[in-house]
Amino acid sequence: MPRLQGNIPRGLLLGAGLVTTAFVALLHASMVTVAQPSPESGVAAFQRIATVLGSPRCLNCHPREDRPRQGDDRHVHLMNVQRGEDGKGLAAMRCTGCHQEHNNEAAGVPGAPKWRLPPRTMGWTGLSVGELCRTLLDPTKNGGRSVADLVKHMTTDPLVLWAWRPGGDRTPPPLSAEEMNSALEAWAGAGAPCPH
């Protein structure tokens, strides 16, 4: 039998090398941990989301009453505009009579595809952050949406995305669209926990 390094048989050295390689691999695997989002990190992410949902760009169109708000000061919509049965205004004053598919900078009227108010059940005015979170997650109030559906809605719906391109002198939400997307992903990844 050939000998290497003094009196140690070559087969023993190879076997020791394999055992060492396997040990190093196991040690490395035990040190590499996949960070599982904690409920606390999810709550922190929702706190960030709530800053957007509580901004005028969202709250103006999510009233709990039948009158939408407008402007950064959230004053009652002029001309006695009302929600109507379908969220698109009363018969004599439909939302699309003024709000088109895009902002009308000349007239100062905001616009986005399918401009309307959400159902009254999705009104957020006066809710605490925890109540807002639970309202969002309640399928009887959110249009039957799952968490994944909510994230998709808030990251792809043109009417929601309008908030970051409001036109005129309207203030966009406090987080960028990218920061909002990251917060939504973190919240959903942590199991969509709600603050108390």
Residues 37-87: tens digit of each pLDDT: 899 999 999 999 999 999 999 999 999 999 999 999 999 999 999 999 999
Residue 19 has pLDDT above 60, yes or no: no
Residue 132's identity, in one-letter code, is L
Instruction: Using alpha carbons, list the distances in angstroms from residue 51 to 57, 175, 194.
Output: 11, 8, 14
- Dihedral class, residue 151 (left if φ above 0, else alpha if ψ from -120 to 50, else beta): alpha
Does the predicted model carry a pTM greater than 0.75? yes
Q: How far apart are the first and last CA of the chain?
A: 72
Q: How high does pLDDT run on average in the chain?
A: 88
Q: Which of helix, strand or coil describes residue 9? A: strand
- Sorted by where each begins, the domain ranges of the chain are 1-33, 38-189
What pLDDT sits at residue 149? 98
Tell me the helices (H) and strands (E) count for the chain, helix number first. Answer: 7, 6
Q: Tokens 């005129």 belong to which residue?
A: 168
The full length of the chain comes to 196
What are the pLDDT digits (tens) for 160-175? Answer: 999 999 999 999 999 9
What are the pLDDT digits (tens) for 84-128? Answer: 999 999 998 999 999 999 999 999 999 999 999 999 999 999 999
Instruction: Using alpha carbons, list the distances in angstroms from residue 112 to 93, 98, 119, 196.
Output: 17, 11, 18, 34
58 in Cβ contact with 124 (< 8 Å): yes
Task: Give burial (CB, 10 Å; 0-12/13-18/19+) of 11.
Answer: exposed
